Amino acid sequence: NTPSMASAKASLDVRFSLLLDRRPEFRGVKIVAGKGGELTLSGRVPDATARRMAVALVRMEPGVRKVTNQLSVATAEESGSE
């Protein structure tokens, strides 16, 4: 009995929003639920470490079978302009 992707996605949305309070580098991450336990991450993160962390956090969610990482890393000029 695995959780549905809708509930896994809802759980991830809640966790990511809570995480954003402490980790603003994930603010640009979007999660799209596919079929059969597949999730796609898209958006921008400030560095490769944040990119790896986002994927690792999503993979730990029950019901997630595959994560497609489409996150892009912001360049130094972009991240320094805030």
Q: What is the 3-state secondary structure (H, E, C) of 24-46?
A: HHHCCEEEEECCCCEEEEEEEEC
**pLDDT per residue as tens digits for the range 38-78:** 889 999 999 999 999 989 988 888 888 999 999 999 986 65
- Strands (E) in the chain, as ranges, are 29-33, 38-45, 66-73
Alpha-carbon span 24 to 4, nearest angstrom: 28
Q: Say what the pLDDT of residue 76 is.
A: 65
Overall pTM surpassing 0.85 (yes/no): no
Alpha-carbon span 16 to 22, nearest angstrom: 10
Instruction: Give 81's pLDDT tier (boundaries 50, 70, 90).
Output: very low
